[in-house]
């Protein structure tokens, strides 16, 4: 069975989460589409990505179009980069209950370990998967942190100036 925004709304109500699901007239499968529809910065759109770390599901929540630094995530998890994979569309649906492009940060088939990129909590308001490709979840960063926990890591790849020394990210 595929979950949808109704399942997410029920989870929000049962868990007393301060969040709202916004239904849109069209699909918002990508961050740029969602940002354009809402007329906001792409950084306010969060994406929930399912990874399999040594075969175990792990969610990573990051901002906008930022790329997730796989190597940093693998190092943090103390596994080799080769043992970290993204879930296929079928795996995403089987594990979370939601289709790719609609996965919310919580309310899945099962509780999932979740790592959040530090940039997420610097946004004034967040919009993420709302359970359907034409729905978005809106909530405050503090509420997201309350619900998913405190596992936070600098995971967004950012270009470094040519003269900047490299220092690996650390958990915050």
Name every residue whose Cβ is closer than 8 Å to that of residue 92 and which is 6 or more positions away in sequence.
50, 98, 99, 100, 103
Res 53: pLDDT = 97
Closest C-alpha to 91, from 46, 51, 47: 51
* Confidence tier at 138 by pLDDT (50, 70, 90): very high
- DSSP letter at 160? P
Res 4: pLDDT = 97
Q: What integer is the mean pLDDT of 103-108?
A: 98
Greatest extent of the chain over all pairs of C-alpha atoms, in Å: 52
**CA 92 – CA 100 distance, rounded (Å):** 7
Global pTM value:
0.89
Q: Based on C-alpha coordinates, what's the Rg of the chain?
A: 16
Whether 159 shows a pLDDT value over 80: the answer reads no
Res 71: pLDDT = 94
* Confidence tier at 168 by pLDDT (50, 70, 90): low
Res 166: pLDDT = 47
Q: What integer is the mean pLDDT of 18-42?
A: 89
Res 29: pLDDT = 77
- Of 37-51, 78-92, 156-170, which range is least confident? 156-170
Closest C-alpha to 92, from 77, 67, 80, 109: 109
* Confidence tier at 164 by pLDDT (50, 70, 90): very low
Res 115: pLDDT = 98
Whether 38 shows a pLDDT value over 50: the answer reads yes
CATH class name, domain 5-153: alpha beta
* Confidence tier at 169 by pLDDT (50, 70, 90): low
């Amino acid at each position: 069975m595929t979950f949808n925004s109704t399942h997410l709304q029920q989870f929000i109500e049962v868990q007393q989460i301060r969040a709202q699901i916004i239904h849109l007239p069209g699909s918002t499968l990508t961050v740029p589409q969602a940002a354009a529809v809402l007329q906001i910065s792409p950084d306010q759109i969060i994406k929930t990505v399912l990874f399999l770390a040594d075969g175990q599901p792990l969610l990573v929540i990051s901002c906008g179009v930022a790329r997730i630094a796989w190597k940093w995530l693998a190092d943090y998890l103390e596994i080799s980069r080769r043992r970290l994979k993204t879930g296929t569309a079928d795996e995403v649906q089987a594990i979370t209950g939601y289709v790719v492009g609609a996965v919310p940060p919580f309310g899945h088939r099962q509780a999932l370990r979740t790592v959040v990129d530090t940039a997420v909590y610097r946004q004034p308001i967040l919009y993420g998967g709302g359970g359907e490709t034409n729905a978005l979840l809106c909530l405050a960063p503090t509420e997201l942190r309350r619900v998913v926990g405190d596992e936070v890591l600098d995971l967004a790849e950012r270009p470094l100036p040519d003269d900047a020394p490299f220092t690996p990210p650390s958990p915050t």
